[in-house]
Amino acid sequence: MRSIFLHLHPAKVDRSSIEFNRTFGLGGMAALLIVVQLITGILLRFYYTPVPGSAYASVVFTKNQVLFGQFIRNIHYWSGVFLLLIAFLHFLRVFLTGAYREIRTKNWLFGLLLLVLIVFLNFTGYLLPWDQLAYWAITVSTNMIGYLPLIGESLRTTIIGGTELNADTLRTFFTFHTAVLPLLLLLLVFYHFWRVRKAAGILMPEAQEKPEMIPVVPNLVFKEFIVALVLLAVVFLFSALFNAPLLEKANPAYSLNPTKAPWYFAGVQELLMHFHPIFAAFIIPVSVAAFLAWIPFLNYGQAPNGRWFISEKGLKSSVTTAKFAVIITLSGILFNEYILNFETSFSFLPAFVSNGIIPLLILTGLMAGYYQFYLKGQSLSKAELVQAVFVFIIVAFIILTLTGIFFRGKDMALTFPWRAF
Amino acid sequence: MKKLQHKKTVSLVGKAPAEPLSRRDFFNRAWKWLGILAALEVTGMFTAFLFSGKSKKQSAPKQLLEAGPVDSFEKNSVSAFMGGRFYLARQKDGGFIALSLRCTHLGCSIAWEASKNRFICPCHSSAFDIAGEVLNPPAVRALDYYPVLIENGIVKVDIGTIVERSSFRKDQLQYA
């Protein structure tokens, strides 16, 4: 057992590669949270009934009648939230230190796949309590699938096994959540770790002197232990203080106001408020995913140097791009909400044009202007340019997500968080 | 020794100038193709297993729900039938339509707001008029409806059949 665990590491590591703020231990944290999810998930399964008539009652029973039921459920909920957040931060760290190409190309792609798996694990788990929150969030999200061209509607009815959520949906989601996805996740996590070893550990900036090699036990293992304990303490503290949400039992006749998608889809839902569904739920997300999968294959001309933001110039252009992204996303949301509704203003055009092509062209124009008048003058390398695009996408995504979660209230109108909740 | 002999035999028998197929290569290839075949069979079996049970569910036959006598519904009024998942809307001219309560945008349940004379979706504030036509996006399609039958002055709704449409047309209404 001991040797299996230690096989994740080499015998010796470069002293400067295990400094905490090089990786912030994010990958390890994610792995630990996956273990926590497995254990608490198995515990919860002993009491859960995946049938619409009794699912809600079984969750209420777990929560109120089982010793530590509420606590275990809270841990499962919070470490699910943290897992997604930490995996996202890990993804940012890997990109921003340049560790997504050359020998690490495969691991970048499998890392993206892991991120998608974690989103789907969260998503399938979201339905299981069968309360109003679950029912309507999954209704809204699965309806987004219906807007995919050609296959959308049949894909949606296949996934939910009917035209609206029913017993088949719950059984399918339960099977994915508790068997298919965890198995895949475990396999891929092991592969992910193995590829890190294959790449001879994390990407390091070129050092002046020869790296000082020190034994992993106790140096690295001790640090990992501390990180694990602190993370567990934070999860337990959250679970003791804040209960996982549970509203009244699902009622198909009555929608919540507002009905929101799960928080990690709030960004897509916010896009849906501004773009024709084909753009918001298909063209834009698919383009972003394609961009992320494509970036390792560009010809950059030189190896990544392992430094945050590549260089001073890279940092400066990233910060400016982030500011530009904040301004353009916020003003875009406000402009579309209060000043010009493309669909009603140009109602003589098909919605696909008025609320899709036109706003997208305007945005593309603004970005082209930003490139022409700022980025071009910075004489950036290709990697720095790709980094600027990445930063723009991520910052816009974060702003959209935060708006969707915190600034949308009754009737999905824009409001302030203290009025929205 | 055996291997050598075997190679010799093949090269003696071989006629083509191209590399002749050795027994070893033949079996390797055979195993590969058998493997692919087995994988296809398993995939087919799994797909059949997973999807055949789902598609066998027959679409619901005609399921008539009696809404009530024609005269009990005022003109230009909306009555909710939550059990049947529809609103029975009687137009100004007396025509009936049974509107599904699913918003055509993302499937939330719409609510009739009598004071504003429109259906409003709580999810993304799409709005529909009393005939189900879109008044306010993001919805792009009029509300689905169920066929209405009027027999001996009784309004009946076929809740087994849902009809999708892009916009409202007069012939979707039923008159007593």
CB-based contacts of A301, cutoff 8 Å, min separation 6: A381, A382
A160 and A143 within one domain: yes
A185 and A86 within one domain: yes
A202 and A279 within one domain: no
User: Which residue has tokens 């035999």?
Assistant: B9
CA atoms of B154 and B69, how far apart (whole Å) = 4
CATH number at residue A132: 1.20.810.10
A168 and A68 within one domain: yes
Encode pLDDT of B98-149 as tens digits: 999 889 888 888 888 888 888 888 877 788 988 888 888 778 888 999 988 8
A210 and A87 within one domain: yes
- Domain final position from A232, A256, A280: A256
A295 and A243 within one domain: no
A102 and A50 within one domain: yes
A170 and A65 within one domain: yes
Query: What integer pLDDT is reported at residue B50 of this predicted model?
Result: 83
Which of left, alpha, beta for B69 (phi over 0: left; psi -120 to 50: alpha)? beta
Put simply, the answer to whether A140 touches B136 (Cβ < 8 Å) is no
A311 and A199 within one domain: no
DSSP track, A62-119: HHHHSTTHHHHHHHHHHHHHHHHHHHHHHHHHHHHTTTTSGGGHHHHHHHHHHHHHHH
Pairing of strands B111-113, B96-100: unpaired
Chain B closest-CA separation from residue A259 CA (Å): 5
Quote the ipTM score. 0.74
- Domain final position from A194, A223, A256: A256
Residues of A with CB below 8 A from B125's CB? 411-413
Q: What is the largest CA-CA distance in chain B?
A: 102
Q: Is residue A172 a contact partner of residue A161, using CB atoms and an 8 Å limit?
A: yes
Number of domains in chain A: 2
Question: Residue B134: which H helix or E strand, with range?
Answer: strand B134-136
Sketch out chain B's domains with CATH numbers: 2-55 (no CATH), 64-172 (2.102.10.10)
User: Which residue has tokens 């020998």?
Assistant: A103
Chain A closest-CA separation from residue B106 CA (Å): 5
- Domain final position from A229, A256, A283: A256
Put simply, the answer to whether A143 touches B105 (Cβ < 8 Å) is yes
A287 touches chain B (CB under 8 A): no
Chain B closest-CA separation from residue A130 CA (Å): 16
Put simply, the answer to whether B107 touches A277 (Cβ < 8 Å) is no
Range of the domain at A392: 260-421
Encode pLDDT of B2-60 as tens digits: 444 554 445 445 455 677 889 999 999 999 999 999 999 999 999 888 887 765 555 55
CA atoms of A358 and A275, how far apart (whole Å) = 10
A168 and A267 within one domain: no
Put simply, the answer to whether B101 touches A253 (Cβ < 8 Å) is yes
CA atoms of A92 and A210, how far apart (whole Å) = 29
User: In this structure, what is the dihedral angle of CA atoms A314, A317, A323, A328, given to the nearest 10 degrees?
Assistant: -120
A75, HSE (Cβ side, Cα atoms, 13 Å): 21
Helices A69-96, A216-241: axis angle to 10 degrees equals 130
Radius of gyration from C-alpha coordinates of chain A: 23
A247 and A271 within one domain: no
A243 and A144 within one domain: yes
The mean pLDDT values, 10 residues at a time, for chain A of 421 residues are 72 85 91 96 96 95 95 96 97 94 93 97 96 92 85 88 89 96 96 90 81 86 92 96 93 83 90 86 92 94 89 95 96 89 77 84 93 90 94 97 90 81 62
B142 touches chain A (CB under 8 A): no
Q: In 10 A of CB A372, how many CB atoms?
A: 10
CA atoms of B95 and B33, how far apart (whole Å) = 66
